[in-house]
Amino acid sequence: MKEFKARTALYLYRVAGGLIRPFVPFYLSLRAARGKEDPHRKRERMGRTDKKRPEGPLIWLHAASVGETLALVPLIERILQLHINVLLTTGTVTSASLIENRFGSRVIHQFAPLDIKPAIRRFLDHWKPDLALVCESEIWPLRISGLARRHIPQVMVNAHMSGRSFHSWQKRSALASHIFRQIDAAIGQSESDAEQYHALGVKTVAVSGNLKADIAPAADKNLLMQYRESLHNRLVWAAISTHEGEENIAAEVHLALKTRLPNLLTIIVPRHPERADEIMEELAKKSLNVVRHSEKQMPTADTDIVLVDTIGEMGVFLQLAKVSFIGKSLTETGGHNPLEPALLGSAILTGPHVENFKDTFDVFFANNAARVVEDATQLAVQLNTLLTHEPLRYEMIEAAYDTATNMSGALERTLKVLRPFIDPLIMQAKLHHQDTNHGW
């Protein structure tokens, strides 16, 4: 009966996909108009492509957006060193730009196919991956079933699952068991992540820690020097990975603190840079002097806010900021990862809604390496305290750095679990290289 329920639910999921298929072009066009899709690459969402599959073994890695993509960068580099082809799919325009800047032609990028049967079928027919590695929490039933039917191993890496998602799957236990048992392994960020994947049906689980703790934060040294020269000794704080409503809060906080700290500079780094025009309109209403980073103008003594409307340059601004507020934690729920500001020497503030990174933040809070603010008023108070009391700020920065570095090692632990899946591909790559370059 349980198996029947699962197959019925999956069938209905497929039927729903078939019903919405005629509306997909309109949906993609609407997203493209909002800057959330590349209008020239919409067909990739239906599994179509003009690119050829390279010869030799190929690993398909999938990351939802920028944060997940960054987490995979060290793993991708290690795979490329093994002379194995990498196909990387993502779901956002910003992540596509990041991949182009970071890897160029060394990695094949495609926008992820929608989880409808024709798109998944076309995608797998064309690319024929030898292994699929999916980052964090991207659970798409038809992709998982499609890979399983073709006997293509699939592993969740840096696997994470929020409590809300876990409980939602538990309510659909028959469907969850049917789907999750087709996943060959899940390598969790934490013990609780691994336990949740196991409880839902994944037989092989392991714990790696968070891959983001192994990322060496990058920063353009020349750009960093230019900013430091233009800012002199100004007090700088940053609101990073902000979502709608949080840019307005950052602006209000800046205005509230400016009377006490006249040399204050606020840096705003929205999670989605395509919202920059909308954010500029909001900031203009407050009569603030704003510089857009994309226009390559350095802030002057009169600048109130630097709006960072580019991607891949967070490292520069985190090194400028004495304190960083992490977004998606006040006006939205979920939060973002504190590891990057911790590794770059910025004291950390966050709103209360950090459900997506609860395990990581629990460690930070226990070590006094981050503080919670409930609203704009508390954010202003905490900023004033940390910006004007150096010993307290340095104590938090040191605690955050120690906490983040103690979480490192996830890459090596991940590779250890992946060895049974990757070793056969290494042999294939060597044989292909020998056949291509030297003959038999």
pTM over 0.95: no
The domain that holds 77 is classified in CATH as: 3.40.50.11720
Contact status, residue 386 vs residue 347, Cβ threshold 8 Å: yes
230 and 200 part of one domain: no
Tell me the average pLDDT of the chain: 92
In 3D, which of 185, 138, 141 has the Cα closest to residue 162?
A: 138
Domain, as residue range, for 134? 1-209+413-435
> Which ranges constitute the DSSP H helices of 232-375?
246-258, 276-284, 314-320, 339-343, 358-366
118 and 227 part of one domain: no
Residue pLDDT, tens place only, 19-64: 666 766 656 666 765 667 788 899 999 999 999 999 999 999 999 9
**Count of domains forming the chain:** 2
pLDDT band at 1 (very low <50, low <70, confident <90, very high): low
pLDDT band at 440 (very low <50, low <70, confident <90, very high): very low
417 and 282 part of one domain: no
Is residue 202 left, alpha or beta, with left meaning phi > 0 and alpha meaning psi from -120 to 50? beta
116 and 190 part of one domain: yes
Q: Is residue 215 part of a domain?
A: no
322 and 381 part of one domain: yes
177 and 254 part of one domain: no
Active-site annotation holder among 37, 68, 246, 340: 68
In 3D, which of 364, 358, 346, 352 has the Cα closest to residue 407?
A: 364
> Is residue 68 flagged as an active site residue?
yes
Q: Is residue 357 part of a domain?
A: yes
400 and 417 part of one domain: no
CA angle at 411 for the pair 61 and 95, rounded to the nearest 5°:
40
In 3D, which of 283, 272, 274 has the Cα closest to residue 306?
A: 283
Sheet holding 185-188, edge to edge: 108-111, 85-90, 58-62, 131-135, 154-159, 185-188, 205-207
Residue pLDDT, tens place only, 181-220: 999 999 999 999 999 999 999 999 999 999 988 886 778 9
173 and 251 part of one domain: no
279 and 150 part of one domain: no
The domain that holds 289 is classified in CATH as: 3.40.50.2000
240 and 175 part of one domain: no
Q: Is residue 17 part of a domain?
A: yes
